[in-house]
């Protein structure tokens, strides 16, 4: 599984770099035009493209510390526009009960939990240990199921998927910056969203089949080590399957129903 993940991660990075190369090629082609109706590059355009190229390169070489810093700022941006449950709320108290006995940190980074009060069904984690659970998900799941989902999200951090997602989100922002260098107001408005947009892109990012399966197995192993009920991971996927496998939380392959079956088979094999 580790080898498969490394191959998948390498392919994801290569895909990102190809996209950036394409964006740069288009930008260069546009800058070379100086005929009727064509766009002529100004010194400001050149400066913008230089900044975009720098950002694009930076995206592929973000250090762990830089990813953590971006995650800190992205998480703060999400918290700033969400309705966060207070420590005394029933949702926060319930979450505290659910996570009791789970690892307090991931990859040496303390985990920070909060509940977003919203009907949306979602949960996510960032590379800085920021874990957010939506009350909509908590309302439809029991404690064992919520714990299984949290374990899955932590898995994305522990296995390096969250770092790759940050690189991809950052790269996408750099590509938009390149496009906006030519004065397109609509594109420029999108790119200037900066941190808020980066945070949204990160939260809504999709993982590969190998990455999702690896995080499922991480959660299973985490629950096993903590002597928690692993069946909650199965029924969590079954409930998500009823929402449809196009649900924003788990919209990648394999399907939620297929993932439930995989965990069910692992439970059976342990008996």
Burial class (CB in 10 A: 0-12, 13-18, 19+), 223: buried
Burial class (CB in 10 A: 0-12, 13-18, 19+), 181: buried
Which residue is associated with the tokens 């762990």?
Answer: 64
265 annotated active-site: no
Contact 33, 40 (CB under 8 A): yes
In the chain, beta strands by DSSP E: 105-106, 109-110, 112-116, 123-125, 130-134
How far apart are alpha carbons 155 and 158 in whole angstroms? 5
Cα 167 to chain centroid, rounded: 10
| 67 token code pair | 């990813």
Q: Say which of 91, 153, 197, 212 is annotated catalytic.
A: 153
Report how far residue 4's alpha carbon sits from residue 27's, in angstroms, rounded to the nearest whole number. Answer: 35
Q: CB of 207 within 8 A of CB of 161?
A: yes
| Residue 108 CB neighbour total at 10 angstroms | 6
Question: Which residues are the active-site residues?
Answer: 153
């Amino acid at each position: 599984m580790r080898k498969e993940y490394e191959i998948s991660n390498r392919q994801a990075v290569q895909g990102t770099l190809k996209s950036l190369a394409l964006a740069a090629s288009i930008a260069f082609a546009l800058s070379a035009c100086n005929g009727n109706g064509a766009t002529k590059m100004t010194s400001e355009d050149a400066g913008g493209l230089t900044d975009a190229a720098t950002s694009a390169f930076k995206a592929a070489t973000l250090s762990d510390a830089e990813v953590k810093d971006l995650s800190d700022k992205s998480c703060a941006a999400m918290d700033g526009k969400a309705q966060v449950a207070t420590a005394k709320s029933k949702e926060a108290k319930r979450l505290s009960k659910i996570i009791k006995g789970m690892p307090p940190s991931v990859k040496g980074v303390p985990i920070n939990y909060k509940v977003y009060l919203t009907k949306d069904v979602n949960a996510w984690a960032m590379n800085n240990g920021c874990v957010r659970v939506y009350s909509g998900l908590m309302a439809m799941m029991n404690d064992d199921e919520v714990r299984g989902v949290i374990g899955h999200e932590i898995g994305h951090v522990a296995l390096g998927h969250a770092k790759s997602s940050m690189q991809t989100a950052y790269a996408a922002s750099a590509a938009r910056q390149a496009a906006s260098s030519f004065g397109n107001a609509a594109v420029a408005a999108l790119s200037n969203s900066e941190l808020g947009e980066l945070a949204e892109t990160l939260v809504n990012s999709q993982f590969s089949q190998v990455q999702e399966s690896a995080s499922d197995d991480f959660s299973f192993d985490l629950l096993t080590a903590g002597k928690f009920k692993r069946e909650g991971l199965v029924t969590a996927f079954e409930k998500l399957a009823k929402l449809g496998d196009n649900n924003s939380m788990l919209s990648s392959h394999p399907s939620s129903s297929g993932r439930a079956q995989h965990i069910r088979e692992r439970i059976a094999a342990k008996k």
